Structure 1
C-alpha cells in the first residue's frame, strides 16, 4: 500500500466512528464500552444530507410525540440522526427505547440513526463519540437525569460539538431532561433530586436550586430557561424561583431572562424565523413566564416574593415570536404576583403553581 492509498483509507476510517454491518442492519454494529454504549440502525458511512435546516424541538416529556420527531428528521434532510442520553450506572438495554428504529421506520426516512448512552464523563473525549456527533444531520437528547448531561458534557468536546451542530443550521431536540438543558440557562438537578415548587418557593436558596449557565448556546434561547412536565408536575412555582435567582445573578442577563415551560406530550417547534408553534397532536400547552421586575427581599431562608409576572398560555392555535417574545392568539394570559411563597390571588396560575408531593413512579 503506497502512502496516498494509506492516507485515503485512514481518512475514511476517521469519518466512520464505529464499525457497522455493510448492509446497515439494525443491531449489527451495536457496541459496548466501559464508558458508553452504542446502537446503530442504517449506515452512518453514507454521505451526509445535502441540505439541513435550523430547528429546535422543545419536548415536555411524558411520552413520544411523533410530529416532533418528524420535525427533527425533516429538518435533518433525511440524513444521519444521533440520539444521546446519559445514565449514572452501566445498565445496558439493547433496544434503548427503540428511538433509532422509530427514526428509521416511523419518523423518517433517514439514512441512519445512532444512539450513544454515556456512562462516564470520559466518553465525552472519545474520538468515536465526537465523530458521530460531528457527522450528525440531526440530534435528539433523550430524557433521564439532566445532571448527568451537565456532569458528563460541560467543558468537553461534546459541548463544543453540540453548539457547533446548531450553529451550522442543523436541528436538535430534547425531551424532559433533554429539554431541561436546551436553554442558555438550566436547572441542573445537581443535588440528586428533582426540585418541587413548594420547596423552591419556601427558600429560593435551598441547596437543591442548582442553576447552570454557559453550557448550550442556541439561537433564540439566549435569555431562556426551560422547564418540563410543566402543568402535570405543577412547576410554575419552581420556574418563578429559578427566574428570580437568575435575575440576581451576575452570570445572567438581569431583567431579560424568561422561562418557557412545556407540558407533557407537547412540543414547541422553533424554525429559522424564530417563530415557535406547538407540534401537531400536542396534548397540552407551552407557558411563557416573564417577570417584569426583580423579586423583593430575595435572601436565604426567606420565601419568594415577586410581583407583576406575566404568564401566557400557548396552544396549537397560537405562536411565540422568540425574537420579540410576542405571543399570537394566546389561550389565556394573566399578570400574577407571589407573596411569601403564595399566589396573591386565584388566577390562571393556580392549577400549575405547586403541589403537595410527587406522584409515585416519577423520575
Structure 2
C-alpha cells in the first residue's frame, strides 16, 4: 500500500511508532508529546483498539488521553471489515487531529482494517497533516511493509520473519517493537534482506520514534532505538538460503540511539544531538 501523496502546500503529519509498554501513569512523556503534536488541550484524538481483544482497551486510552488534558478522545473499535465503511466513523477520523492505534495483534488489525475506506482516510489525513501513532502492534502497522510474525534471536534466518502489507503511511522504514526485551534483531535484519530499500527501526519498550514531516526520526523514552541501514549492503545470501538456514549479510550499518538522538531517513545520517555536546 503506497503512501498518500502530500498535496502542494501541505505538510505530512508526524508518524509516531512506540515500542510497547509505554509509561501511562506516573510520567507519560511519550503520550504527552503525542498529544502536543495533536494540538495539546485542543487535541481531538481517535483511538483504534482493534488489535486488542481486551474489551476495555479503548476506554483505558480514552481515560489516559483525557487525564493528559485533551479536548476529546474517542475509541472506534473496528470489529469487522464492514465497520471500516461506517460513514459516521469516517467523518470522525476526518475531523480528528490525531489517530492512535493500541497494541495487540497486528494481523488482526491489518486483516480487519487493511484496504477499507477507514484505512484510506487515515492515509489521506496523515498526508494532509494529521499525526498518527501507535504502540506495539499499532506501531508495526504504520509502514507499507509490516512484520506479521517471526522468531526470536539475534541472527537472521531465511524463515525468521513473515511480512504483510501495513497501513502504508510511509515506505521508508520497517518497524519492530518490544525489540531488546524479545530479542528481535534477527527478524528485523531478515526483513531488510527482503527489502533493503527500507530502514529497519527496532523500538525498545517505553521508547518511541517521533518521525517529523521532513523524515527526521527523534528518539523519546527510557530505552533505545536500533536503526539498521541495509542501503549499502554488499552481499546477501537470502535468495539462495533454504528455510531455517542462517543468512549472510555484509555491509549493514547499525546505530543505537537513545533519548535526544536523531536519524535522517532521507540522508541516512545519525546524530547524537545534545549528547555529543557532553
TM (norm. structure 1) is 0.64
Equivalent position of 1:235 in the other structure: 184
Equivalent position of 2:65 in the other structure: 103
The 8 Å contact of residues 87 and 117 in structure 1, kept in 2 or not, is answered as no
Bigger mean CA offset, 318-327 vs 294-303: 294-303
Equivalent position of 1:196 in the other structure: 151
CA distance in 2, matches of 1:245, 1:297: 7
CA distance in 2, matches of 1:186, 1:273: 22
SS at match of 1:210: strand
Q: Which residue, 259, 271, 277 being the options, matches 2:212?
A: 271
Equivalent position of 2:81 in the other structure: 121
Two-structure CA RMSD over aligned residues (Å): 2.6
Render the CA deviation track for 1:136-159: whole Å, top value 9, x for unaligned.
111111100000111011111011
Equivalent position of 1:178 in the other structure: 138
Equivalent position of 1:61 in the other structure: 20
CA distance in 1, matches of 2:159, 2:206: 31
Equivalent position of 1:45 in the other structure: none
Q: Which one has the largest radius of gyration?
A: 1
Render the CA deviation track for 1:110-151: whole Å, top value 9, x for unaligned.
221101222222211222222222221111111000001110
Residue 100 (structure 1) shift = 1.0
Aligned pairs, how many? 256
Q: Which residue, 130, 149, 160 being the options, matches 2:90?
A: 130
Q: Which residue, 243, 257, 262 being the options, matches 2:203?
A: 262
Render the CA deviation track for 1:296-355: whole Å, top value 9, x for unaligned.
253332321212211100012421122212101289xxxxxxxxxxxxxxxxxxxxxxxx
Equivalent position of 1:284 in the other structure: 223
CA distance in 1, matches of 2:252, 2:227: 10
- The change in CA–CA distance for 1:297 and 1:69 in structure 2 (over 3 A counts) is closer
- The change in CA–CA distance for 1:271 and 1:330 in structure 2 (over 3 A counts) is closer
Q: Does 1:86 align with 2:50?
A: yes
The 8 Å contact of residues 84 and 116 in structure 1, kept in 2 or not, is answered as yes
Provide structure 2 residue ranges, at least 5 long, that are not aligned to the other structure.
Answer: 1-10
- The change in CA–CA distance for 1:88 and 1:102 in structure 2 (over 3 A counts) is closer
Equivalent position of 2:126 in the other structure: 166
The 8 Å contact of residues 72 and 139 in structure 1, kept in 2 or not, is answered as no
SS at match of 2:206: coil
CA distance in 1, matches of 2:238, 2:151: 21
SS at match of 1:240: helix
The 8 Å contact of residues 154 and 185 in structure 2, kept in 1 or not, is answered as no
Provide structure 1 residue ranges, at least 5 long, that are not aligned to the other structure.
Answer: 1-51, 190-194, 247-254, 332-363
SS at match of 1:197: coil
CA distance in 2, matches of 1:268, 1:140: 14
Residue 256 (structure 1) shift = 2.0
